[in-house]
Amino acid sequence: MENPYWQFFCGFEFFQHEPPIDASTMTRWRKRIGPEGPKASVDVALETGTAKPGSLERITVDTTVQPKAIAHPTDSRLYLKAIQILVRQARRDGIMLSRATCGWLRQRRCGRVAMRMPGSSAGCVANSSAFAPISAGCSATSAARSPAMTNLLGLVERLLAQKPKDRNKIYSLHAPEVVCIAKGKAHNPYEFGCKVGIAATVNTG
């Protein structure tokens, strides 16, 4: 719907006022087919005669960046996000946070405490809610961890340990697979997303 030129390029004879498909259709399709989906789709194309074996002898391969819907990552924002996610998961698992942690969170919500040491705060909240000592000086309790809490603990531990120049940094807790990719564009030198490979047959596409 950006302009009629795009629509004509996509094959529409008249201007369309609504998108042809839902924006999340491809995302749901990728989750449905799973990692083995591309191979299965090729097998189905060969069985139904849509594609011929000879068309698979030569393919064109290209790469691009699939941007993710994340805010520009900063340390303070990631630490605050880690605190919020840890508290939410602790409540789901029925974990009682320590009195000091609850008092800090209550003051933080009221705006009376500034995040002068967000990393230490995130470590203490993680320690209090997730049973494992992540930050020195915080007491830990022993209990059975849920798989979600165990996975979240590993992400927060990596977040607290990473340095500015480290590789394989965490840029988003809800999408830890996101990486920083240099594009070389003047207006947008870096993009945060995943590298995607596209393979298409030369003749039939």
Dihedral pair phi/psi, residue 119, rounded to 5°? -65, -45
**Is the pLDDT score of 177 beyond 80?**
yes
Over residues 137-159, the pLDDT tens digits come to 333 443 456 888 888 888 888 88
CA–CA separation, 74 and 80 (whole Å): 10
Q: Are residues 50 and 25 in the same domain?
A: yes
CA–CA separation, 32 and 26 (whole Å): 10
Q: Are residues 58 and 103 in the same domain?
A: no
Over residues 22-46, the pLDDT tens digits come to 778 878 888 888 877 777 878 888 8
Q: Are residues 58 and 85 in the same domain?
A: no
Q: Are residues 86 and 32 in the same domain?
A: no
CA–CA separation, 98 and 132 (whole Å): 13
Task: Give the number of residues written for the chain.
Answer: 205
Give the mean pLDDT of 79-84.
82
Q: How many structural domains does the chain have?
A: 2
Q: Are residues 64 and 142 in the same domain?
A: no
Instruction: Give the residue from 20, 62, 201 showing the smallest Cα distance to 11.
Output: 20
Q: Are residues 58 and 86 in the same domain?
A: no
Q: Provide the pLDDT for residue 141.
A: 43
Give the mean pLDDT of 107-118.
47
Q: Which residues on adjacent β-strands are paired with residue 182?
A: 190
Give the pTM. 0.55
Q: Are residues 96 and 21 in the same domain?
A: no
When pLDDT is cut at 50, 70 and 90, the band that residue 105 belongs to is low
Q: Provide the pLDDT for residue 86.
A: 81
- Domain range for residue 88? 75-161
